[in-house]
Structure 1
Amino acid sequence: MSTASHLEFRKSSYSQGARENCVEVAEAPGASAVRDSQHPGDGHLMFPIVEWGAFLATVRDL
């Protein structure tokens, strides 16, 4: 399992300006890590790359 110190998180493009609900995503081997950008020290959630791709495809269709 990857630790946060080895992950390069990037902030969502929707997390700009006055929006307070921010997430950051990092790529890991075979997975994606997601964390709250306002509380990065609280940890992250890991999702298998297939599940993360399915999530993104569903969100794009909304």
Structure 2
Amino acid sequence: MVEQLEMETGRISRLVKNKITWIVVVSIIAAFTLGYFLGRNCEDRNEPPRYYPPPMPQYPGART
């Protein structure tokens, strides 16, 4: 009974660790891409930096 409980907690902690590492990796990649795009936008000084999201794609059948 105790060994089974230890096995369960070990599996759960491993799952949590995997999820945490996955979240960290994804957030790092997102931060890099965001910084890259913002830096690239700020490089051309002719136009002000664009912070608004791009327009939504028009789907066929959507009311316009």
The question of a shared fold, defined as TM-score above 0.5 by the shorter chain, is answered with: no
> Normalization by structure 2: what TM-score?
0.25
TM-score (norm 1): 0.25
Flag the structure with more relative contact order, 1 or 2, with Cα contacts below 8 A and sequence separation at least 6.
Answer: 1
Higher strand share: 1
